[in-house]
Structure 1
Amino acid sequence: MYIPFDELPQHARLWIYQASRPLTEAEQSEIKPLLERFATEWSSHGKGLKASARLLYSQFLVLANNESETSASGCSIDKSVHFVKELEQRFSISFFDRTQLAFLKEGEVEQVSLSDLKSKVAAGEIKQDTLYFDTLVNTYGELQASWPRPAGASWLAKYF
């Protein structure tokens, strides 16, 4: 069952996928109904999930489920991964490259390779207060309260 994204409860579980590039307006227009359809049909052991999905900052695909209603099982999570992989093929984009980190700089999403992170920190290009899109955020409440969050308040704190 589809729930509008803005109506998710604070404890709703999230899965965030970072695209390898910003999606064009045309791609976003094409993807949005696919996301709604997936969230509507997403189920766990035959029971419909109370789910939602949204694109954020033209570069992040967020799937969500109200876990207090029905928990996502391993099979339903596999279905979501399969769906995201289908989007990758259809739009010639990657959503699974964990070697790219995304920061918000001057209102734009900037991707930085994990291998370049130390040198960017040393050069002062990335600081503790640089906003980081932490794809490890687990709940809708966290997303609303602190996403993007200062890099120093994320798992990247060890680099400062």
Structure 2
Amino acid sequence: MPLVSFAALPDEARVWVFSAAAPVVGAAADVLLREVDQHLTQWRAHGMPLVCARDWRDDRFLAVGVDEAASNASGCSIDALFHALRALESQLGTSLVGNGAVYWRDAGGAVSVADRPAFRAAAAAGSVGADTLVFDSTITTVGAWHREFEKPARSSWHARLLPQAG
């Protein structure tokens, strides 16, 4: 079986991060994770099984990793993953693929989400700033998922959305 534990993937393994526009909890989370696991168990590139895993955080963030030293994902296999997740969106009642939103932790520790203009407005109003913890869904490795996915806005591309000091 190509599906392994996420902890078994090396730091340099390729990762894709999918962010739910709304929290996915309870039975919906069970459906999501069961369907993702089923897809990953059968996930192949050019007929070869992919050594892969998934991780789930904060009722919003799904990371899917592939150990490319063991097996390379192809464009078609990656497209199949995106298609499988899109197919689940209506059942889950939220988007997972390509919503372009900005995610951060609010003062109470909850995950907040908004589009970029609304995040800029929150920054201008002072409700988010350089120390606000943000989630960087542009990361591309398992190591980055472990160490860099959640970090202060000043250390991320999110800093471009903050008012410039001066």
What TM-score results when the alignment is normalised by the length of structure 1?
0.93
Amino acid at match of 1:46: G
Q: List structure 1 runs of 4+ shifted beyond 4 angstroms.
A: none
Aligned position for 2:135 = 133
The answer for the alignment partner of 2:27 in structure 1 is 26
Residue 148 of structure 1, aligned match among 127, 134, 150? 150
Q: Residue 118 of structure 1 aligns with which residue?
A: 120
Q: Which string of whole-angstrom CA distances, capped at 9 and with x for unpartnered residues, describes residues 12-56 of structure 1?
A: 111111111001211112222222211111111101100111221
Q: Is the 8 A contact 1:35 1:54 kept in 2?
A: no
> In the alignment, is the contact (CA less than 8 A) between 1:32 and 1:54 conserved in 2?
no
Distance in 2 between residues matched to 1:90 and 1:44, nearest whole Å: 27
Question: Secondary structure, in 3 states, of the residue corresponding to 1:17?
Answer: strand
1:2 alignment partner, SS class:
coil
C-alpha distance in structure 2 between counterparts of 1:23 and 1:141, whole Å: 24
**Cα RMSD for the two superposed structures:** 1.4
Unaligned runs of 5+ in 2: none
* Range moving further from structure 2, 104-113 or 66-75: 104-113
| Matched pairs, number | 160
Alignment of 1:2-21 (within 5 A): 2-21=3-22
Q: Give me the whole-angstrom Cα distance separating, in 2, the residues matched to 1:27 and 1:151.
A: 30
TM-score by length of 2: 0.90
Q: Name structure 1 gaps, 5 residues minimum.
A: none
